Structure 1
């Protein structure tokens, strides 16, 4: 599989590039918080979409909300299903990092008055890189 042709990988590369060049985007009308929030958001979505692609290559298919209702199960978001599937395949560290990224992303997207530090951004980049590494591009 040529992973570099997939949008998940292109988003990964773009997010890294955005982080490297973030000072260029930190203007008075955007501010550091907006740029940091965008990077954190993109690190989560990059890692999440890649994990989903990787899982689909391993026969995973997330359930739709109505499928939970039909089966009489408690609803789980697709994001939770992805983390659970990683756990079931013994990728516990990867699942935990995806959860940590998810928490950072919620702060970035929904807690607009809470600061996002350079350390938060560095952590999100680190988690994204580790998720890609742990799922090994070649395993697709």
Structure 2
């Protein structure tokens, strides 16, 4: 499989470009948080979608849509992906994705919290670890 032809990889490349250009992308009068939160969000979603594609292609795992689960067994597809990574022995990748999810929650749902340059760098580092570790056959 040539992963470079997939949207997940294109989103990965976009995220790297956003990081490189971040100082130029902040509109005048805006807080750098606007681009920092976007980079973290894109790092998470490119990684999540990449993990999902890897699980589907390599491990033949597909999460069950939450609405198809009964009320007592509802678990988000995002959590199912993290659990599947762990179940298939990719505990470290589960941890990387979970760290990204925590950063994304802060970036997306807590708009008045500061996002540090270290958090942006950490998010991209987590993303790169996932993309470099999970390989397609």
Same fold (TM over 0.5): yes
How far apart are residue 28 of structure 1 and its match?
2.6
Alignment match, 1:98: 97
Structure 2: where are the runs of 5+ without partners? Answer: none
Alignment match, 2:13: 13
Q: 1:110 to 1:66 in 2, by over 3 A?
A: closer
Q: 1:120 to 1:73 in 2, by over 3 A?
A: same
Alignment match, 1:31: 31
Alignment match, 2:129: 130
Structure 1 vs Structure 2 CA RMSD: 1.3
Q: How many residues align?
A: 136
Which whole-Å CA distance do the structure 1 matches of 2:51 and 2:76 have between them?
15
Can you list the C-alpha shifts for 1:23-48, whole angstroms capped at 9, x where unaligned?
10123343200010000000000000
Which whole-Å CA distance do the structure 2 matches of 1:77 and 1:83 have between them?
10
How far apart are residue 73 of structure 1 and its match?
4.9
Which whole-Å CA distance do the structure 2 matches of 1:109 and 1:26 have between them?
17
Which whole-Å CA distance do the structure 1 matches of 2:111 and 2:128 have between them?
25
Alignment match, 1:120: 119
**TM value normalised by structure 2:** 0.94
